């Protein structure tokens, strides 16, 4: 699989994963790195780099880190992916700018989802944003499936955003003309 969203959906479907859980940061990082590894570019991604991404993510993520600091751990998780991919080191110049720009863009995507927070929506938005960044910056085109339909809205402990969320499961669309009066067509004689 080379679609990070598809990989993430498999992991987010695990029954033991909580609706709101910092493990979603590891899912985002793992799905993105797995997609890169499985892509035509994948020969340049090593297992040690993937382990490094998880170690960097773990250093940023603590249980309930978003409720403690107010910062969703998914943004630094994607930052770890970019950092390892670019080989960013302390004192890097252009690479550091690209890294910070990437984290800013992911953070903005998460900001656009806020109220109440949803880890699953955040993973989806972060992966979509990260895929766009890698296409723009590095020419690495990862497939992007259409936005998935969330089937977990009833599990949200603080209430799902429902129609305000692009991933919300919508019911069948109503035919707005179903109950209208049908008139016979007329011919204009002017």
pLDDT of residue 174: 47
Regarding predicted confidence, which is higher, 81 or 150? 81
Q: How far apart are CA 183 and CA 177, in angstroms?
A: 12
Q: What is the DSSP string of 96-141?
A: HHHHHHHHHHHHHHHHTT-SS--HHHHHHHHHHHHHHHHHHHH---
Is 83's pLDDT higher than 70? Answer: yes
Query: Is 110 a member of any domain?
Result: yes
Q: Is the pLDDT of residue 185 over 70?
A: no
Q: How far apart are CA 111 and CA 122, in angstroms?
A: 9
What is the per-residue pLDDT across 89-131, written as a single tens digit (0 to 9) for each?
887 889 999 999 999 999 999 999 877 888 999 999 999 999 9
- 188 found inside a domain: no
Q: Could you tell me if residue 124 is inside a domain? A: yes
Whether 158 is in a domain gets the answer no
Give the single-character DSSP code of 3: -
User: What's the whole-number mean pLDDT along residues 143-154?
Assistant: 83
The pLDDT, as a whole number, for residue 104 is: 97
How many domains does the chain contain in total?
Answer: 1
**28 inside domain:** yes
Please indicate, yes or no, if residue 18 is contained in any of the structural domains.
yes
φ, ψ at 3 (rounded to 5°): -95, 110
Q: Which contiguous run of DSSP H or E holds residue 52?
A: helix 47-60
Mean pLDDT lowest for which of 37-41, 49-53, 83-87, 154-158? 154-158
Cα–Cα distance between 26 and 61 in angstroms, integer? 9
Higher pLDDT, 129 or 164: 129
Residue at 161 is within a domain: no
Res 51 pLDDT > 60: yes
| Residue at 164 is within a domain | no
Q: How much is the pLDDT for 173?
A: 47
Does residue 23 surpass a pLDDT of 90?
yes
How far is residue 108's CA from residue 155's CA, in Å, rounded to a whole number? 25
Please give the pLDDT value at position 65: 64
Domain with 90 in it: 4-145
pTM of the full structure: 0.84
């Amino acid at each position: 699989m080379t679609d990070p969203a598809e990989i993430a959906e498999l992991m987010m479907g695990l029954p033991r994963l909580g609706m709101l859980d910092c493990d979603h940061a590891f899912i985002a990082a793992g799905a993105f790195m797995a997609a890169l590894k499985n892509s035509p570019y994948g020969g340049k991604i090593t297992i040690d780099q993937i382990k490094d991404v998880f170690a960097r993510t773990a250093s940023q993520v603590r249980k309930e880190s978003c409720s403690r600091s107010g910062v969703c751990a998914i943004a630094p998780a994607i930052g770890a992916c970019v950092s390892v991919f670019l080989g960013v080191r302390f004192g890097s110049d252009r690479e550091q700018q690209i890294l910070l720009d990437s984290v800013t863009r992911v953070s903005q995507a998460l900001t656009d989802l806020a109220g109440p927070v949803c880890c699953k929506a955040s993973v989806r938005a972060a992966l979509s944003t990260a895929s766009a960044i890698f296409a723009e910056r590095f020419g690495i085109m990862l497939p992007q499936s259409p936005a998935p339909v969330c089937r977990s809205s009833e599990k949200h402990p603080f209430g799902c955003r429902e129609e305000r969320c692009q991933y919300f499961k919508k019911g069948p669309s109503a035919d707005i003309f179903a109950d209208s009066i049908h008139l016979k067509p007329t011919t204009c004689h002017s």
